[in-house]
Structure 1
Amino acid sequence: MIKRAHIRHFLAVVDAGSFTRAALRIRVTQPALSTGIAELEKLVGTPLFIRNRRQIRLTEAGGRFLPIARDLERGFRTADSFGHDADRQASELRLGVIRSVPGELLQAIAAALRPGFAIELSEGSESDLRAALGSGRINMALAPLRPGEHGGHVLPLYDEPLAMFVAADHPLAGRIEVRPEELAAETMIARRSCEFLDATSRFFTRHGVRPRFALRSESDERCLRMVAAGIGITTAPVSLAIEGIVPLKVAGYDFRRELGLLSDPAWTALPEIEPRLAHAHETIGAIAAEWRRAKVDVAL
């Protein structure tokens, strides 16, 4: 018989992308995790993962089993809360946020949600947040939207380009556009929270730019403050601009992101949740429109 532990093990491997990271995430030993996956594969009668040295991938059967596992885990969580104070459960909002969301914007969104909910925040990468949303560990995620993503569970906020930022007194600050090759001698600062970090690295490598790095940090504020101090340059969404730095267009560097609020459809459909969200969504939409005018349009 399939047990909840089997489902937890399966989803942990899917979400983490490796047995080692999955075991750490759910706090079990790797042998115990491997045994759980083996038991599950025996119970369903087919391999669920393709294992090799580089990566773990779902088999075709594993892909078909994934939405079933998500539904089962969501059901387990619902059962866990059955009989608890319904009003207290309805008032709790677990909100996941990518680390590169501007603090000022997050403050405004949290303030708009606070009248209807007791908010619990968590941070993570886009993939982490989507996995948490799919398994019911969070109710909403403030994260980049994928092309064409829409529907009742999606509230688009604003889109913006990424730019190279340099200190206001940098020699290139007055240029309208530069070629990537012109940045070969520059010292860079790596924003580890950037959703396009790997793609940015590949872009500059293709153009022969292999810079020295003055700082690698998860803190966007620290990275941008060090740009303003003149110790390096970095790429960032234009809405993250601070005093003392200016955006610089790099030819061919055309990355954009659209931020939005993603909600668990099963959660938003609950009759006690829908009215709590309706006014908050209207307020957040107005906040996002003003944010774009004040932070994005001005920078462009």
Structure 2
Amino acid sequence: MSSTPITKETYLEWYKSMLLMRKFEEKAGQLYGQQKIRGFCHLYIGQEAVVAGTISATRQEDTVITSYRDHAHALAKGVSADACMAELYGKSTGCSKGKGGSMHFFSKEHGMMGGHGIVGGQIPLGAGIAFAEQYLGKDNVNVCFMGDGAVRQGALNETFNMAMLWKLPVIFVCENNGYAMGTSVKRTTNMEDIYKIGLGFDMPSMPVDGMDPVAVHNAMDEAVQRARAGEGPTFLEIRTYRYKGHSMSDPAKYRTKEELEEYKGKDPLFSTKHAILENGYADDAWFAAVEAEVKKTVEDSVKFAEESPYPTVDELYKDIYVQEDYPFVMD
């Protein structure tokens, strides 16, 4: 039974948030081609339902941590398009003050605990964040995203063991888009059902249709209830697909056009729009208004980024260490 029901408002918010993710990423790809954005850039186009369904089943106080494909996660957690675009530009008004770029979006205020460039590096960090919430007596959860390549890192096994032993409130999510960079999952393992990795730790684990926000929401809601009740972690293999290459430098020649078109037929934006119209939740005028609003938001974010200053030299040694007042006293 869902503790967070799916309503008309849920569908409308899904469409608006996924459209913003899609249009932001399309613009980022365009700007990268114009060399306005430098460094690395990994787009999320096609995978939007994973984040949309996660956010609708969690609370704002819950945190997320993810890999370097992190733009959509930040937007969904409430980081403004202005701050995200400015970060891509390396400007001081960016969500990481222009110091992180595409792979390192961060906002403590919004519970966005970072995109991480080290493959699998965020997995133990997600468990650590969950441990902190548990230690402080809070009932917040952490959602720790990773790719299908990251599950091959040894740190995953160590983390899964500790998370189950201590019943940490963390939901591990493998965003399985079928390819670790350009290598098909089929070429890396004889066990293609990635969720089964969790079963070896007696961790509740399951596959989820990542092209459907309803399926993601329901699976995430169940996992969140378990975590809040003190019953520990869940491992979700959310099967999704990216329509672009691994990064902007990837022509994605390792997959067929037929495969790509098959998944484009499952586009979560189209299916969500169809459900909204079929249920009479909104009409064409509403969609036109949302599309105009999103277009303006993205265009405004580019203007904001273009006009923002770069970090000054005195920022070089700032944000290296942080001084915190710990909630306990050492003898």
TM-score (norm 1): 0.23
The structure with more radius of gyration: 1
Greater relative CO, 1 or 2 (CA 8 Å, sep 6+): 2
More strand as a share of residues? 1
TM-score (norm 2): 0.21
